[in-house]
Amino acid sequence: MAEENEIDEKNLKEKEEDFFDYSQVDPLTAIGYIAEPGSIYYIQPSKELSSYPMYIENPQKIEKRVGAYIAYTLNGTDITAQTTRRYSDFFALYEKLVQRWPGIYVPPIPPKLIAKNTSRKKIKHRMRLLNRFCLNLSNIDYLYSCEETSLFKRNTPDLASAISKLPELTNDEYLKRLKEAFPNHNEEYDILIGKGVIIDFEVFLKKSLKNVEMFEKCVENAAEKREQEIKNYFELIKGLVEYEKNSINVFCDDNFNSLIFNNSAYKELAEKVEKLKNRMINPYTAFKDWLEEETLDAEAMLTTIKGIYELIEKEEKLKQKVGAIEADIKNLEGGRSSLKQLFKKKEAVIAIKQKEKDEHLEKFHNFELIVKIVAENLENQIGEFKKSKTQTYYKYLKIFAILQRESNKAIRELWSLVQKALSEVAPNAYQANGDYVAKPMSTEQNDEEQLDADVDDVEEN
C-alpha cells in the first residue's frame, strides 16, 4: 500500500513550478493585512516566523523508486544544522510525545492525507498546520526541551525510526520528568474535584465536536457557492472586456476613445480589473481553517483526557494489588495459609509479604502523585484552552470581516471607476431616448460610504 504522504504525480505536474516557488504569503498579506506577532493564521516566513525557535519552509518533492514525498526545510533560531523533515517525522514525534507524556496536552498535527487526493493546495494547507504545531510546541517549554523534541531538532538520520525506538518511561522516570516540568505542583491537590472538572469538560467537548461538524458543513456549502460566484464574476468581467474588443470596437468604427474597459486613458480601471482576482478572496476560507483548528484542538484535548483516565486506571490497579497483599498478610497472621506456605515458616512468609506490600505501597504513592500532578496541570490547561478558544474566535471573526469587506470594496471601487469613465465617454447615456436619469445619492447612501471610509482608515492605521 502506498505511503500516506506519497504524492499524486498528476496533481503535482500541473503547474509544478508554481508550487516549488511557494512562499507562505497569503491572501491577507496581498490586501495589506499585517498579522500580529505570533499569529498562526497564514504566516509569512520572512516576517512572523524568522524569530521563532522552530518552523518549516521550502517544500521540495523527493523522488523515490515508487512515488515521491514532500520534504520541508527545518529552520529557526534554535536550529543549528539545517535539515529536512517530512510528515512521517512529525507523526512519529507527535505519537511519541503522547506516549511518553500521558495525560499532558500535546498540540495536534494535521491528519494523514489520502495519497490520491493530494494536491499543491493540500500541501500548502498541511504546511500551515505543521507550522502551527511547531509554534505551539515551541511555546511549551517542557515539551520543546524534552528528549523526543531534541531528537527531532537535530540532524538525525532516519528520524522516525530513531524516535520510535525511545523506550517507554518507567513510573519513577515519568514522576521525575513531571516534577521537573511542574516544580510548583500542589501535592495536596484535590483529585476528586479535578476529576469532576475533567469529566464535565470531556462531555462538553464531545458535544462541541458534533456542533462544529454541523457548522463545518454549512460553511463548506457557503464556501463552494461563494467560490462559484467569484468565478462567475471573473467570467463576467472577462466577457465585457472581450465584448468591447470584438463588438463595441466595430460598432464605434475602431474609435478606442469610445471604449471603457479597453481604453488606455483609463489605466486605473484596467489595474482594478487586473488586481480583482487577488482582492476578491473567498472569506469562508477563514472560517474553514478556524473550524478545522477547533476540531484538531478538541480531539487533542480528548486524547489528553483519555491519557489521564489510563493513568487513573493504573493507579486503581496498584491500589488493588496493595489491598490483595494486605489480605494475604492478614490471612497468614490469622493462621490460614496456602499449600506452598506449609513448607515455610510463618514469620518468614509474612516478612516477604510485608516487603512486597511496602514496595507496592511506594509505587502506589508515587503513582498517586503522578495522577495528581497530571490532573492539576490538565485542569489548568482546560482554563487556558477555554481562553485561547475565545480569542481564536474573535481573531477569525475579524479576519472574515476584513476579507468580506475587502471583496465588496474591490467590486465597489471597480464599478465606481466604470461610472466615472461612462460620465466622460457617454455623458448623456442615461438620458438617451428617455431612459433612466441618475438621481442624486440619498443621505443614507452618503452616510454608508462615509462609514466605509472611516472603517477603512481605522484598518489601515
**CATH code, domain with 161:** 3.30.1520.10
Instruction: For residue range 354-395, list pLDDT tens digits in order.
Output: 898 889 899 999 999 999 999 999 999 999 999 999 988 988
Q: Are residues 256 and 159 in the same domain?
A: no
Q: Are residues 298 and 442 in the same domain?
A: yes
Q: Which three cell numbers stand for residue 434?
A: 428617455
Q: Tell me how far apart the alpha carbons of residues 392 and 395 are, in angstroms, rounded to a whole number.
A: 5
Q: Which three cell numbers stand for residue 242?
A: 472581450
> Is residue 278 included in any domain, yes or no?
yes
DSSP 55-71: EEEEEEEEE-SSSEEEE
Q: Tell me how far apart the alpha carbons of residues 381 and 364 are, in angstroms, rounded to a whole number.
A: 25
Q: Are residues 56 and 138 in the same domain?
A: yes
From 168, 185, 212, give the residue that closes a domain.
Answer: 168
Q: Are residues 138 and 227 in the same domain?
A: no
154 backbone dihedrals φ, ψ, rounded to 5°: -80, 160
Instruction: For residue range 292-309, list pLDDT tens digits in order.
Output: 999 999 999 999 999 999
Higher pLDDT, 344 or 268: 268
Section 415-423 average pLDDT? 92
End-to-end CA distance of the chain: 54
From 168, 190, 210, give the residue that closes a domain.
Answer: 168
Instruction: For residue range 38-80, list pLDDT tens digits in order.
Output: 444 444 444 566 778 888 888 888 877 777 788 888 988 888 7
> Is residue 130 included in any domain, yes or no?
yes
Query: What's the domain count of the chain?
Result: 2
Higher pLDDT, 194 or 157: 194
**Which range of residues forms the domain containing residue 96?**
9-168
The answer to whether residues 349 and 330 touch, using CB atoms and an 8 Å cutoff, is no
Section 126-131 average pLDDT? 88
Q: Tell me how far apart the alpha carbons of residues 71 and 87 are, in angstroms, rounded to a whole number.
A: 8
Which long-range contacts (C-beta less than 8 Å, at least 24 apart) are formed by 262-267? Answer: 263/421, 263/425, 266/417, 266/421
pTM: predicted TM-score of the whole model, two decimal places:
0.80
Q: Are residues 407 and 328 in the same domain?
A: yes
> Is residue 79 included in any domain, yes or no?
yes
DSSP 120-138: HHHHHHHHHHHHHHHHHHH
Place of cell 511555546: 139
Tally the C-alpha atoms within 13 A of residue 80's C-alpha that lie toward its C-beta: 5
Q: Are residues 277 and 409 in the same domain?
A: yes
> Is residue 186 included in any domain, yes or no?
no
Q: Are residues 316 and 384 in the same domain?
A: yes
Q: Are residues 254 and 363 in the same domain?
A: yes
Question: 277: Cβ–Cβ under 8 A, 6 or more apart, which residues?
Answer: 234
Torsion of CA 213, 228, 278, 290, to 10 degrees: 0
Tell me, what's the pLDDT at 459?
A: 46
The answer to whether residues 302 and 202 touch, using CB atoms and an 8 Å cutoff, is yes
> Is residue 375 included in any domain, yes or no?
yes
> Is residue 181 included in any domain, yes or no?
no
Q: Are residues 47 and 135 in the same domain?
A: yes
Q: Are residues 455 and 352 in the same domain?
A: yes
Average pLDDT, the chain: 81
Q: Closest Cα partner for 92 from 142, 156, 139, 148?
A: 148
Going 201 to 204 to 208 to 210, the CA torsion angle's sign is positive
> Is residue 352 included in any domain, yes or no?
yes
The SS3 call for residue 450 is: helix
- Lowest-confidence pick of 162-166, 212-216, 334-338: 334-338
Instruction: Using CB atoms within 10 Å of the CB of residue 168, give its burial: 0 to 12 exposed, 13 to 18 middle, 19+ buried.
Output: exposed
E strands, 21-116, are 55-63, 68-75, 83-86
> Is residue 240 included in any domain, yes or no?
yes
Q: Are residues 142 and 57 in the same domain?
A: yes
What element of type H or E holds 387?
A: helix 346-425
Q: Are residues 282 and 141 in the same domain?
A: no
Tally the C-alpha atoms within 13 A of residue 169's C-alpha that lie toward its C-beta: 20
Section 80-93 average pLDDT? 90
